[in-house]
Amino acid sequence: MSEKQQQVVIYTDGACKGNPGPGGWGAWLCYGSQEKSLWGGENPTTNNRMELLAAIKALEALKRSCKVELHTDSQYLRQGITQWLPNWKRKNWKTAGGSAVKNKDLWMRLDEQAARHEIDWRWVKGHAGDPGNEKADELANRGVTDPEMTQETSD
């Protein structure tokens, strides 16, 4: 990591009331003593789309290349980006079974954002008391009821 590269810790989560239904995404970013909370939502959508959008929006919020520790409770997101994505791209966005990859538009956006950073993708068990995951869950649920993307920053 170069001296200019910053290390950021991110927690992301998605929520959906019905699947499909009204959904929200949330991301909590921490850099030293600085914190940023992001959230937003869509209707109708799916939980998987909100999980992806949370990671995309968090990475888009970073103004320069960073070393990132990204925590998610979504195996779909973590396995997709770390294991499945290279094969999907090689097979022209087809799954191992030959069908079209679901949420291709978001996977492409996530791939583009992830390429800008050095990311350690970490899975955390949801609803198990992890403070960062609980904060991301709260933000995702806020996105369901307040879907216009908003952010709060604190030092």
> Which residues participate in catalysis according to the annotation?
13-14, 51, 73, 127, 137
| Closest to 47 measured CA to CA, from 5, 106, 108 | 106
Please spell the DSSP secondary structure of 78-138, one letter per residue. Answer: HHIIIIIHHHHHHTTSB-TTSSBPTTHHHHHHHHHHHTTSEEEEEE--TTSS-HHHHHHHH
